[in-house]
Structure 1
Amino acid sequence: MKKLLAFLTLGLLLFLAACSSEGGSAKEPGNNGDTSDSAENAEKQEVTFWHSMGGAGQEALNKIVEEYNTSQDGIQVNAEYQGTYDESLTKFNAVAGSDSAPSVIQTFEIGTMSMINSGQITPIQEFVDADSYDMSGLEENITNYYSLDGKFYSMPFNSSTPVMYYNKDAFKAAGLDPETPPATYEEVEEASKKIVESNPEMKGFALQAYGWLWEQLLANQGALLLNNDNGRTDTPTEIGWTEEEGKSILEWVKRMVDDETFANYGTNGDNMMAGFLAGDVSMFLQSSASSRDVIDNAPFEVGIAYLPHPEDKERQGVVIGGASLWMIDGKSEEEQKAAWEFMKYLQTPEIQAEWHVGTGYFAINPGAYEEQVVKDAHAEKPQLQVTVDQLQDTKASYATQGALMDMLPEGRKIMETALEKIYNGGDVDEAYNTAVEQFNVAIEQANAARGE
């Protein structure tokens, strides 16, 4: 009897499960069992886009992707946030070559050689050639970085350079001309002294201990980060800057530390920006991509100026920062073509205008600056025009084209340690010599790992 009951119970459960399964896929009147979105997406070629945009950048990007998806019927781009550039790159390396790899990945500029050496990408030059796409129509001082031996491996996307932000109200209170910001290291020092004299509660200047800013201050002097033309004519074997060029940055900061006009925020850029907005420091260096946030949130008038340089050096300009988009190898021809169409869409003047105004990043396509939305934004916030002017005034050279090597993330950490030593009262010679030795060792180890 027990066996019979067990059998009947099992039969009943199976019957109910079958009914449940059928009910779960039951077709509702009028939709044939699919939502309109899922039915539409099923007919589209999907493109998986890994990115590292957070905050306002993510909001602007999601809006652009949504607009693209609804603008045509053949392609569905799925934008997926993967954390910081470092985190995203680590995830990519774990799935590269598998079906889990994305169609397109956004990677920071210093990851260029790592991506090329990975063997997991398809250079976009293949699509540029096949499509007769004119890369010369894009901003030259941006595309210069991503061109290697006349070949493009990735498509520039979010690009920025550092600028100097300053408190115009504090300048006025100190008797400084708010429309004539400091242009040299020495002028920054003198302005800082006057700021502190007028307001002992405010420091004059802050510099985040950030390797990217170190590189920019070198390039503005015309100095190379790596030898062999910043790694663009041959594989680097050692540092490219001279002792005078390298020490000038550390000595500049050391003088302000000793004068007690320097605000030490270490490696924390968020705290530095918060200190500026709170009126604790009157000047700081940071990415131009922060311009909208700084201007919109400051309770005082914000000025933006070019990156400073030593007074005995002529200003050379800045190296493009940010990231580019990489086409991942091993995908179907249809998927790669769809990804290429999306990349081209992102470079149109209208979309670049939307991106520039929404984030503060540069427009990759200079035609965007003729769009009315950009003209209106620059009229309302003329500081944004300064960031564009600095980029376009940059003198093309190997120094401002930027360095290429797979050890650059490690190199940045080395220089950050050197800067922090100075911020905390350390000796310039000791910090500099240690940094140079470690930087050269990192270059040697990277070459050895590749068998060079």
Structure 2
Amino acid sequence: MKRKPIWTRTWGLLALSLFVFLAACGGGASQGSEPASAADGSSSEASTSPVKVVWWHSMSGELGETVDNLVKQFNESQSDVQVQAVYQGEYDEGLNKFKTAMGSGSGPTMMQTYEVGSRFMIDSQAITPMQQFIDADKFDLSQLEENILAYYTFDNKLYSMPFNTSNPILYYNKDAFKAAGLDPEHPPTTYAGIEAAAQKLSKDGQSGGAFPIYSWLMEQLLANQDAQLLNNNNGRSALATESLVNSQAAVDTLTWWKKLVDDKVMINLGRKTDDTKKAFAAGQIAMTMDSTASLRGIVNSVGGKFEVGTAPIPKPSDEYKGKGGVIVGGASLWIMNDKSEAEQQAAWKFIKFLTEPSTQAYWHVNTGYFPITKKAYDEELVKENMKKYPQFETAVTQLHDTKIDPATQGAVMGIFPEARQLTETAMEEAINGSKTPKEALDNAAAQITQKLQDYNDSIAQ
């Protein structure tokens, strides 16, 4: 028997498992609608009017301006398709609006959703897998970055097209390294190395560093030692039923993090990455971890006060060299299956435009996100930008050095946003000393596991 679409079941469990304060769901079509065979979205009966594609996205500020410019370039390049980009708020808010619109006919043609929303998007049965368009059009996926495609690939099928992509790197103050007698060209690569450097850097009112209490960083530090966050191969061989956030690797990592703060060689600035970025740019801390997408903003904020260095995120020890790697963060693009074939094909045409080397070069240079297309690095625009921001080479190397396996593909679960909040609470409890790292992570794992079970029950009905 075909299971009922997810939004027709008890919405309370699903809302609980996806977002705090998520709105009630509507109805919609089943997932399996086939795209038209024509790659350009046209048909013999198509009218001369362009097909309209509504794109809901979550890019604001300068990122939003870049999105608008890309849409303008595409619309002016041809007359068959006209894309309308509509900002829907931050990721949580945008997906909330999407859920509310499902089945009403008022939703978008295509949707930008952050990576941790992937499991929900698949389970919603509201999307047409990107693989169907790829196969029908014989689109060559080998032109795109394998390590980026890996996150959005399930059962050898690409469900969405990567759009804005990043991973974390270590940022450090090269001038502070020199002043502390450290080699600025050989930054630390291990937990012990970070600790030793932080001890020497902590002087004259400057702290050795600060890492934001951000679950994404914990996930990355675990993947970098090839440790998984969930059972069932990080939720990729089957729905995850158990959180592994209390694994020995996680306990050891949080214990190290707490020791840095307890020994006063690093400071705790809380959850907001903006606070650590500001402290770094002001010279108050000498090291931090942040997204590759923040590189240009960090360098510009420093404004020549000191030289910014970048390095891969650390591993527990040299024994882990060659193991694990980073997980891509960011968001991808999904095509909705309740729209006509012509409209879905029009969206696919726009998505193909977004993957072109020149488009990716423009996107990368103006946002700091990775190009998803390999040949984008051959574009003069990217070459010139790499000369201006040579620190980005660290990000490219780290991405390419990552071994693709379930740990580095990244965990997937329908309750990921809530799981992150619970993990960050545990990190705070441990770092502030109200619980031991093991107690805090055990408690978080138990709560996440229960929410996973509730979610799985809701989609099995």
Bucket of the pairwise TM-score, normalised by the shorter protein: 0.7 to 0.9
What amino acid is aligned across from residue 368 of structure 1 in structure 2? A
- Report deviation, 1:448: 2.1
Partners of 2:143 and 2:231 in 1: how far apart? Answer: 30
Tell me how far apart the structure 2 counterparts of residues 52 and 242 of structure 1 sit (CA, whole Å).
32
Alpha-carbon distance between aligned partners in 2 of 1:242 and 1:433, rounded to the nearest angstrom:
5
Match of 2:358 among 345, 350, 363: 350
TM-score, normalised via structure 1 length: 0.88
Q: Distance in 2 between matches of 1:54 and 1:248?
A: 37
Matched, 1:109 2:115: yes
Match of 1:229 among 229, 233, 239: 233
- Asked if the contact 1:253–1:422 (Cα under 8 Å) also holds between the matched residues in 2, the reply is no
Q: Tell me how far apart the structure 2 counterparts of residues 110 and 432 of structure 1 sit (CA, whole Å).
A: 20
What's 2:9 paired with? none
Q: Which region of structure 1 is more displaced relative to structure 2, 426-435 or 284-293? A: 426-435
C-alpha offsets along residues 51-109 of structure 1, whole Å, 9 cap, x if unaligned? 11122221221111111111111111111111111100000000112221011110011
In 2, Cα distance between equivalents of 1:60 and 1:295: 20
- Deviations 1:10-29 (Å, cap 9, x if unpaired)? xxxxxxxxxxxxxxxxxxxx
CA distance in 1, matches of 2:109, 2:206: 49
User: Which structure 2 residues correspond to residues 208-357 of structure 1 after superposition, within 5 A?
Assistant: 208-240=212-244, 243-298=247-302, 299-311=305-317, 312-314=319-321, 315-357=323-365
TM-superposed CA distance for 1:434, in Å, is 1.4
Residue of structure 1 in register with 2:421 after alignment: 413
Q: From the CA coordinates, give the structure whose radius of gyration is larger.
A: 1
Equivalent of 2:387, from 364, 379, 383?
379
1:223 touches 1:240 (CA, 8 Å); kept in 2? Answer: no
Alignment of 1:11-410 (within 5 A): 43-196=49-202, 199-240=203-244, 243-298=247-302, 299-311=305-317, 312-314=319-321, 315-410=323-418
Q: What's the offset of the Cα at 1:242?
A: 6.6
Structure 1 vs Structure 2 CA RMSD: 1.4
Q: Check conservation: 1:319, 1:401, Cα contact below 8 A.
A: yes
One-letter amino acid matched to 1:232: R
The answer as to whether partners of 2:246 and 2:442 remain within 8 angstroms in 1 is: no
User: How many residue pairs align between the two structures?
Assistant: 409
Contact 1:347 1:364 in 2 (8 A): yes
The one-letter amino acid of 2:67's match is L
Deviation at 1:430, TM superposition (A): 2.1
| SS at 1:163 equivalent | strand
Corresponding residue SS for 2:286: strand
Stretches of structure 1 lacking an aligned partner (at least 5 in a row): 1-41
Q: Matched residues in 1 for 2:70 and 2:151: separation?
A: 25
Instruction: Indicate conservation of the 8 Å contact 1:138/1:364, yes or no.
Output: yes
SS across alignment from 2:66: helix
In terms of fraction of residues, the more helix-rich structure is 1
Q: Distance in 1 between matches of 2:57 and 2:99?
A: 15
2:452 maps to 1:443: yes
The code of the aligned residue for 2:282 comes to A
The offset of 1:451, in angstroms, is 3.0
Give, in whole Å, the separation in 2 of the partners of 1:235 and 1:381: 41
Taking CA–CA contacts closer than 8 Å with sequence separation of 6 or more, which of the two structures ends up with the larger relative contact order?
A: 2
Q: Which amino acid aligns with 2:449?
A: N
* Partner SS for 2:169: strand
